[in-house]
Each structure stands twice: as C-alpha cells, then as structure tokens.
Chains A and B, each alone.
Chain A
Amino acid sequence: MARESAIPRFGHKPQVAFFDFACCEGCQLSVLQLEERLLEILEHVDVVTWREAMTEQSSEYDIAFCEGSITTEEDVERIKDIRAEAAVLVTLGSCASTSCHNELKNQWSMDEVLDVVYGDDAGQIHTIASRPISAVVEVDYQTFGCPVSLPEFVKVVSAILTGQSYEPPNEPVCVECKRNDYLCVYEKGEVCLGPVTRCGCDAICTGWGDACQGCRGLMDSANIGAMLKALTREEAHSIMRTVIDRHQLTEGEIAAKLRIYNNWPEFTLEEAETDDD
C-alpha cells in the first residue's frame, strides 16, 4: 500500500522515532554505522524515541522509521498506533519492506513451526504468519536490503526533509555490477539472483566475490519464467550451460533460492511461468 496523500513539509525540526518488530536489529545498527553522516542528519531532526539507543521517549513524533516484520497480533496493533501518530512512516530494510526471510516460516502451519522450536511448551507462545509492514498499514517510503542499504537510507532521509518522493530503483543488480566492472557471477559458473533483484546495494555481494542472494527483493518487472528457463532448459544461453552442467539445479531448487527473500505474497512458480507466457 503506498499512500496517496501529499508528502508533508515540516514547519519545524521534525521529530523522529525508531521502532523495531521481528528482526535482528541489524538495520538500526547499520544506521549507527553512518557515524559522521549520522551526526550531520541529527542536525536536521530531533530523535525523540529510539529504544535501542535512548531512554528518553515521546508518544509524539513526525517521522517513524520501522524495522522488522509483523509476526504477532500485538505487533499488528502497535504498527497501527505508530501509523496513526506518524505523518511519515518509513520501512527500514527488507524485514519491514518485504518480510525478508522471516517469511520462510509461512511455508508451514504456525503450529508446526511452534512445535519444532518449543515442543511441548509451544502453547504459551503466539505467532502469526510473517508479513511486511505494508501488508498492515500504508507506508510512505520504503528502503530495502538485509541489512538496509545505507546510501538508500540517506537518500530517503534527504527526500523526506526536502518534501520529495522517493522511488526505489527498479533495475536489476546486474546494472550496478556492470557499472562497477565486476566479473559476472554466471561467468564463474555460479547461480546469481542479480538479474531479477532490485538494485540499490551497489552490488556489494558480487563485489566481494559472492553471488547475489536477492535480499532487496524482486524488481517489479523481474522475469522469473525466463530465468528459470535459462537455468534449467536445453535451449539455454551458452553462459548458463556451465552453471546448468555444474549444478544441475531443478526448478524447485531455484524456487527455493528465490523464496529466501521473496515469499510475500505467496510465491509460486506456476504464476511466474504464466507471467512469462
């Protein structure tokens, strides 16, 4: 859900709050890693609530940065309250924006995951299917990544403070890979989700020699069907042949890779195939 309402311009130094839901809190930690640039941002806003860093708290704020996925009934109510107070609600990182790998648990019944982890004592724990914040309330700005891509966070903060909108990039990670002159992961004979994943991370993983695991989620026009064919079918492009021969992946195995960060709404190969045809 994206909000239609006009983006507010603040007549005062905006008050900022940070909130967290089910996550590792690595996105907030990453924001703290901005160090000098964070001090610069703090000249333009007043942070009034940040449980992880401050004892001071306020129930009044203009901008809410929210990290984590919604996985309990209490959290559904808590995010609604935050939405009611905040003029601007920003999702921080993939847990909040796409539900990230938290969604892997939605493959099973909640009873089953409770049983695996808590066994006979599962009765006292409550959980609901994991969902991104945008599945519960309207969101004004989204940032992606596991953890959040810091250049994107800074861009979004600038956009909010200057009353502008922010459209997340809608190109594949390949664009940034090429711009940085990195060797294509497929050339090395490995599977990479870069061709279908939303860029904006400056291709950090491929830059360090790893493959893209898709943490920023699928770009809007991701052609999953074409990717599946390229990775599994006889008519595959020559670069893909090495990958196919070496890994002999099935459609199911590629889907499992895609599912780690793309399970909401329920991700099915059949749909992807239909889209392609």
Chain B
Amino acid sequence: MTTDADIHVHHLTRVEGHGEIVAKIEDRMLKELRFSVIEAPRFFEAILRGQSYHETVHVASRICGICAVSHKCAALKATEAALGVEISQQTELLRRLAFHGEVLSSHLLHIYFLAAPDFLGLPSVMPLINSQPELVRRAMRLKEIGYDLAAMVAGRHTHPVAMTVGGFSFVHNPDDMQDMRARLVDVREDLDATVELFTTFELPDFERPTEYVSLKHPDRYAFYAGQVFSSDGHGIPPRRYREVIEERVVEGSTAKFSRWNRPEHMVGALARLNNSFDQLHPSAQAAARRLEMEPPVYRPYTITVAQLIECIHCVEDAIELIDELAERGIEADARQAEVAPVGGQGVGAVEAPRGTLFHEYEYDDEGKCVAANHIIPTAQNLGNLNRDMQELMPGIMDENPDRIQRLLEMLVRAYDPCISCSTH
C-alpha cells in the first residue's frame, strides 16, 4: 500500500477563524477528505439570555468583527419585529447605505488580502508591499472607503455604535454624505483596475451546479431585506425560516451544518448573482460580462469574482442612495422610532457579505431576551463546500500533493469562510 497524499492543514491561513483541511489518498483511493471548523464556540445563543433588548443587540453585533453591520441589522430587525417597532423610511435607507460599506470592506479584504495571493502565486500580500506598492495602496484605498462608508452611517464599522433599536443615536450630516459621494465617484477607477487585474487571473474551471439560496426583493438587488429565495424555485418570508433550513451537528465540527431542499446549498455572492443578476447595477452587469460571469455560474472558485462584481454594484447603489437621501432631506424627527419593552418573538434576515443570515429572539414582557437563535452563512456553506471537495477530488487526484493541497485551500478560501462567525 502506498500513500499518495496525506494532507493535513491544521490551521488554514488567510481565512477568518480556525478551520482544518484533511485529505488522505492511498493507492489512488480517497480515504478521507473534509474541511472542518475547529473554532472555540462562544455560546452567544446561551449568553444572550436575560439581557435587555438593547444589550442583546449590542452583544449580538460582536458575533463577527468583519460583518458586524449585518449581525447588528439582523438583530435589530428581529428585535423590532418582536417588539412591534416601525422604523422610518429614512432609517431603512441609511441602513441600506451602511450595508454597502460593509459589503465593500468585507469583499475587498477577501479579494485583495486573502484570495489574490493565490492567483498571484504568493503566500500573502506582504511581498507586494515592496514589489507592487501601487497595488497594495489601491487595495487599502478600496477597503478603507468601505469602512469609512459604514462608519459615516453607523459611527464605526467594527462594531457599529450608532445603530439603535428603532433607528439611530444621532442625526446624519448631509455634508459628510456629499464628501463620501465624491470619494465613491473617485473609487470607480480603482474598481475598474481591479476588474482588469482579474481578467489576467486563471481560476480552476471546476463546476458543480447546486441549490443557490439568497434573499430576493421585488425592487432591488437584496442585501437589507427580502424574501428567502431558492434557485430550486421556492420563496418564503424570513419568519418561516425554520420550516426550510434544518441545522444539524456534524462530528468533528463546532459549527452546525444546515440544509434546505437539497442536502447542500450555497449562500453568498455567487448565490445572489445567480438569483438576482438582473437587479445588479448596469455597470456591475457589464463587468460581469467582461469577467464571463453571466448566470448561471456553477464554478465555486469564482465566488471571489462575484464579490468583485457586487463591489461595483455597491458603489453605484451607494451613490444613488446618497442622492435619494439628499433629495428627501435628513429629518431629525425620523431619527428614532418609539420603543416600548414588551414581549414578543421576531426573526430578522439580511444578506451578510457571505450570505443569508438569520437572527431570532424571544423577549419577555420586560423586554429581556428569553431565547436566541442564529443561522450563519458560513455554517450554511459548509455542507456545500465539503460536497465540492468530494466532486473535485477525482479530477485532481493524480496531481502532486502540493498542488492538491493548494487547490483545496483555494476552494475553501473562495467561499471566504467566516469561521468564528459560523461557530459563534
């Protein structure tokens, strides 16, 4: 018996959190193959019990340092649904604007700092600081505008301070928005350069159709709100999520796996692009055509490219949102809705950068949290990712072990897993 490959990546690098890859091939037979989450759980669903609604939302944002705006908004929406709070149109527009900041910063962190080194044949972005300083500065400028946009709306990107149950803790300044608008216009050039860079990358052409799940909104490409939609043709309101998403504990993983119609499904940028391509901004659609990303796209390695296309959409839509807010005017009266601590139960669903995120809370009559449940995008993707690995392997089994390891690592990274989030 000969061992052809014995791969064990204990702490995978350039991903958020702790995950491991194990692949063992003996006599051309696949003996073991998996990606598991070995992150230490933080037990958010247990520790939120007993907190008042205000503190519940404050702590829930801490589930993730990358997508804190998403967690905060999912918690806010669930809490507002539970307490019967109606937010103003202005608050919703501002929250949508904050989302664009978060999606930009999160996607660009992944595109340039976590994924690009793979396409450039480098171990990290560090060697580029000296060899291609302009590229590194461009990456930083792009990422920074995402943080600054989220901070302009929410006070801070990680963790937002100004988003409250019912609205915001301060009245936004129209001048700040115009300064931001000018920066968003300028950043188009950097995104165009990024698209050009991506046309030079060769991504593995492995493909496997799967079930794509995302929020879908009748009027716009959904991030902040919508029905939960599956490419298999079913849509349901978020409050009924338990009927379709089933979570289960899998041996060797601290993150739970989940299923919808099929045993596995994908959430995130590629799922959204496949489900809602027509609602992307025309500039984003043009970039998609240039990058050969018109749906249906079944290649998981291109999730990173779908993220880049979404970045273009977010910049354009952020500009339009700022214009809409300028036209309406920022009303101090619309800042904060009335909130009374009453009992109730509510669900909030949003499209976090990595996919559909659900928060559910039950509050007692004093507004204290009785029960909490969170369904995390990365946890939803774990089943699909493992299935991709299984189907990918027969085609690459004859490659040398280093190459196999590289292809497996790249596949995991393409999903941009947010592992501490998935365990939470």
Give chain A's interface residues, CB within 8 Å of chain B: 20-30, 32-33, 35-36, 39, 42, 47, 50-57, 71-72, 75, 100-102, 104-105, 108, 112-114, 116-119, 121, 124-125, 127, 146-147, 204-205, 207-210, 213, 253, 256-257, 260
| Nearest B residue (CB) for A148 | B158
Within the complex, which residue of A26, A53, A75, A121 is in contact with B64, where a contact is CB–CB below 8 Å? Answer: A26
B236 part of interface (Cβ distance < 8 Å): no
Count of chain A to chain B residue pairs whose CB atoms are closer than 8 Å in the complex: 163
B421 and A24 contact, CB distance less than 8 A: yes
Per the CB 8 Å criterion, the residue count for chain B at the interface is 59
Q: Do residues B46 and A117 form an inter-chain contact, with CB atoms below 8 A?
A: yes
Q: Is the CB of B170 within 8 A of A208?
A: yes
**A124 near B16: Cβ-Cβ < 8 Å:** no
Residue of A50, A56, A208 touching B169 (CB-CB under 8 A): A208
Interface string of B201-231 (1 = CB under 8 A from A): 0000000000000000000000000000000
**By CB atoms of chain B within 10 A, which of A25, A51, A207 has the most?**
A25
In contact, A29 and B156 (Cβ under 8 angstroms): no
Q: In chain B, residues 29-86, which have Cβ atoms closer than 8 Å to a Cβ of chain A?
A: 39-43, 45-47, 49-52, 55, 58-59, 62-66, 68
A47–B68 contact, CB under 8 A?
no
Closest to B67 in A: A24
Contact indicator B155/A54 (Cβ below 8 Å): no
Residue of B nearest to A112 (CB): B46
B136, chain A: closest CB distance, angstroms: 8
- Are the C-beta atoms of B43 and A29 separated by less than 8 Å? no
Which of A25, A71, A72 makes the CB contact (< 8 A) with B16?
A: A25
Does B242 belong to the interface (CB within 8 Å)?
A: no
Q: Which of B121-129, B188-196, B292-300, B322-330 contacts A (4 or more CB under 8 A)?
A: B121-129
B96 → A minimal CB distance (Å): 19
In the complex, the answer to whether A25 meets B65 with C-beta atoms within 8 Å is yes
| B159 engages A26 (CB within 8 Å) | yes
* Chain B residues positioned under 8 Å from A54 (CB to CB): 13-14, 123-124, 126
B:123-167 near A, CB below 8 Å: 123-126, 129, 136, 140, 143-144, 147, 155-159, 161-162, 164
Residues of chain A within 8 A of B45, CB atoms compared: 116-117
Whether the Cβ atoms of A30 and B158 lie closer than 8 Å is: yes
Bound-complex Cα distance A147 to B144 (A): 17
Q: Is the CB of B157 within 8 A of A33?
A: yes
Residue pairs across A and B with Cβ atoms less than 8 A apart, 10 shown, are A20-B18, A22-B39, A26-B64, A42-B129, A55-B13, A125-B41, A208-B161, A210-B155, A210-B162, A260-B55
Q: How far is the CB of A144 from chain B (nearest CB, A)?
A: 14
Rounded to whole angstroms, the CA-CA distance of A256 and B56 in the bound complex is 12
A51 in contact with B158 (CB, 8 Å)? no
Which residues from B are CB-within-8-Å of A102? Answer: 42, 47
Nearest 7 Cβ contacts at the A-B interface: A26-B65, A209-B169, A121-B249, A208-B155, A54-B124, A104-B47, A55-B123
Known: A42-B129, A100-B62. 15 other contacts (CB 8 A): A22-B42, A23-B420, A24-B64, A30-B158, A55-B13, A55-B124, A57-B13, A104-B47, A113-B46, A117-B41, A117-B46, A204-B161, A208-B161, A209-B169, A210-B155
